[in-house]
Structure 1
Amino acid sequence: MFPGTRSLLRRALLAGAAVALLGAAPGWDGPTRGPAAKPGRTIVYLASDSRNGGVTGVFRGLQAATGQLGWRIHFLDGAGSPGTLDVQWEKAMALRPDAIVLGGFDASAWRDRLAGARKAGIRVAGWHAAPEPGPTPDLVVNVATQARAVAELAVAAVARDAEARGRDAGIVVFTDSRFAVARAKTTAMVQAAAAHRGPHRLRILAVEDVPLPEVHRAMPALVPALAKRHGAAWTHCLAINDLYFDNIHYPLAQAGRADVVQVSAGDGSSLALSRIRSGLSRQVATVAEPLRLQGFQLADELNRAFAGEAPSGYVSRPLLVDAAALKAAPGGDIERGLGFEAAYARIWRVRTGP
């Protein structure tokens, strides 16, 4: 199904992926028409964990967009704790907002609560709140890139690195099975690696299920155990989030495995981009979500809902970023040039800037 690295990259491009390391400059590919701004709305952003760079990055984009629309926005932090998230949901409902955005956690376990919100006239949208982008029975819309496109880009980057080194790749995958989107990414990465047909084999050595809030505690013991178990066969890591690689450098060094190459299948956090730009770590690439764009998309989809219109159908494209791509990006901003802020301002009929 994937005859070599070139085919993997071609398939990802056909899935709508903007591959920054290949020099793609896609420009705006989203909606150009929609309802004018519906001002005076109140939004609550319910974050799974503010320590997750993707979750907070989307909020910053949404916050900027709500400012243009004339909306109020509240941020509530679940702090990576189901109990805290429960408490914050009650706070969100007490604010009687026009909409609630679920930032980075599955909506499927909250169906009764979401039904209660809809009954109260509250729209609910999500970011990474379902396995795939688009509307769901529980959500006005789920904003995300396509999990398979993200996964295949990450595997393609590993394949490219393995070919450059002239050896097979032994891969450990880090995931968090609590999240449907993480499960979807992991399944797609495993399938893409198994189906790879190139001069060098991509072999999955292990899939390690480590909850994101536990990463900083788990890695110091887990990494040496993996090094002992797999030895020199372990050459690469894939992960569903950059947070794993925020906490892997010192454990790898202490285990004598500072050579293990890392590629993240999300989310393009600021720390990850700094690591890749500096070249001082072994994380060579990340599949970045266009987080600010997705924040603006959430605002636009909610504005459509307030106007009684259907979702736009737009799905943003992931960005595979390496050091060369960051060097080429204007001001190091991987989203500059995508054109979304001007496009949404035209749709909403609002003015931006001085």
Structure 2
Amino acid sequence: MHSDGNRKATIARHRVRLAACALLAAAAVLAGCERGSQIGAGESTGGPSGCPAVLAGAQAAVSRAEKKEVFWNGPTTGPAAAPGKTIVYVAQTMTNPGVAGAANGVREAARVIGWNVRVIDGGGTPAGIQAAMSQAVAVRPSGIVVGGFDPDSTSQQVSRADAAGIPLVGWHAVAAPGPSRRPELFTNVTTRVEDVAGISARWIIAHSHGRAGVVVITDASIPFARHKSDLIRKELATCSGVELLAYENIPIPDASSRTPQVIASLLSRFRSRWTHSVAINDLYFADAAAAFRAAGEKGSGPPFNIGAGDGDPSAFQRIDDRLYQAATVPEPLSQQGWQIVDEFNRAFSGRPASGYVAPVHITTAGNSDGATTWDPAGYREAYRRIWGK
């Protein structure tokens, strides 16, 4: 009887300890889920990583992409400047900061090489883009830039340009950089979408230590953007500790009106489960700020937001000020504008495309140094030497 009583007492004490441990564990989980808690790069949001091997690779890739000094590794030789050319830049919409930034780079480079540039804004609608392309072909320019839209959506105009011998250079026009046969482009200027999508997803994995609840925002009407967001989802899925909470399709022309409503709804649905966001364009986070602020969310996060593309000046400002954006994977927009002009110069001279593709980079408050753009150093000087300017 005495030994049986001791055994019962021991079992009772063990149960008390288990209950206490369970309460402590529950309290720790609840404390970790508080929206105001700060989660920095490399810190865990929920204990050990859910994907140790994937996490290690993500941390290494992010470390490389965050390096400050990136020097020009593009072309250093090519044809001298062809004289007296006129370029028409057809923009998907100039409200897209990436499209506008590349257009400004084209204007800057054209002044140096001695060409004329005209920008026609498609307004972000299929009818508007078709009308802009028709107008561009009608003025018989030396070349036309397909600025941020699918050339197949203007196939008749593309055929007329081809028949007239007008070369087309794309900016984010098709999924891959370089020449394209279908649709017919002399070349397409862009970073590799696989690289941009991959590094933005890896930043989330690294930043969350492999424990994240993620919202992905895209514009599925643009094949390039849809492909990018699909690749982001695929990379996020490599980490078992990352949960895709929502995949939101918001057309860029509707971003200012729809994004605040979507953000408010997501906050209501997911609350503290939502730790990170990735959007195919930084502009979504500009439009999201009011909804985050109205809900009482801290500008420094969570959720921690990364833009998988463009990197316009306002994105850099939000990152530096810690206002609802933590990082961006910026396109070197000015450099790409100069590259577009150089690619046309090669086309006019009967030379092949340069084949240059800019490397991916991640900008955060820790490495921006107050800058409002990112470009590899030395590209202007390199292109001037090539053109003899």
Structure showing greater radius of gyration is: 2
The 1:285/1:56 distance shift into structure 2, 3 A limit, reads same
Q: Choose which of 303, 308, 313 in structure 1 pairs with 2:355.
A: 313
1:126 Cα offset (Å): 0.7
Deviations 1:291-331 (A, max 9, x none): 0000011111111000011111111122210011112x7x5
Q: Which residue is 2:258 aligned to?
A: 218
1:247 aligns with 2:247: no
Name the stretch that deviates more: 281-290 or 76-85: 76-85
Structure 1 residues 183-332: aligned runs within 5 Å: 183-196=226-239, 201-258=241-298, 259-279=302-322, 281-327=323-369
Count of residues paired in the alignment: 334
1:132 Cα offset (Å): 1.2
Do the aligned residues in 2 keep the contact of 1:125 with 1:302 (CA within 8 Å)?
Answer: yes
**Which letter maps to 2:331?**
E
Q: Which residue is 1:343 aligned to?
A: 382
1:107 aligns with 2:151: yes
Do the aligned residues in 2 keep the contact of 1:146 with 1:315 (CA within 8 Å)?
Answer: yes
Q: Choose which of 181, 201, 216 in structure 2 pairs with 1:173.
A: 216
Q: Choose which of 107, 112, 125 in structure 2 pairs with 1:63.
A: 107
Deviations 1:128-181 (A, max 9, x none): 000111111121111000111111211122123213xxx821001000011122
The 1:282/1:12 distance shift into structure 2, 3 A limit, reads closer
1:103 Cα offset (Å): 0.8
Give structure 2 stretches of 5+ with no counterpart: 1-50
**Which letter maps to 1:81?**
T
Q: Tell me the secondary structure at the aligned position of residue 99 of structure 2.
A: helix
Q: Which residue is 2:16 aligned to?
A: none
Structure 1 residues 77-96: aligned runs within 5 Å: 77-96=121-140
Give structure 1 stretches of 5+ with no counterpart: none
Q: Which residue is 1:122 aligned to?
A: 166
1:11 Cα offset (Å): 5.5
When the two chains are superposed, the root-mean-square deviation of aligned CA atoms in Å is: 2.0
Identity %: 36
1:94 Cα offset (Å): 2.0
1:334 Cα offset (Å): 2.7
The 1:301/1:2 distance shift into structure 2, 3 A limit, reads farther
TM-score (norm 2): 0.81
The 1:2/1:296 distance shift into structure 2, 3 A limit, reads farther
**Which letter maps to 1:238?**
V
Q: Distance in 2 between matches of 1:46 and 1:301?
A: 16
Q: Distance in 1 between matches of 2:163 and 2:345?
A: 19
Q: Distance in 1 between matches of 2:387 and 2:132?
A: 30
The 1:25/1:45 distance shift into structure 2, 3 A limit, reads same
Q: Tell me the secondary structure at the aligned position of residue 237 of structure 2.
A: helix
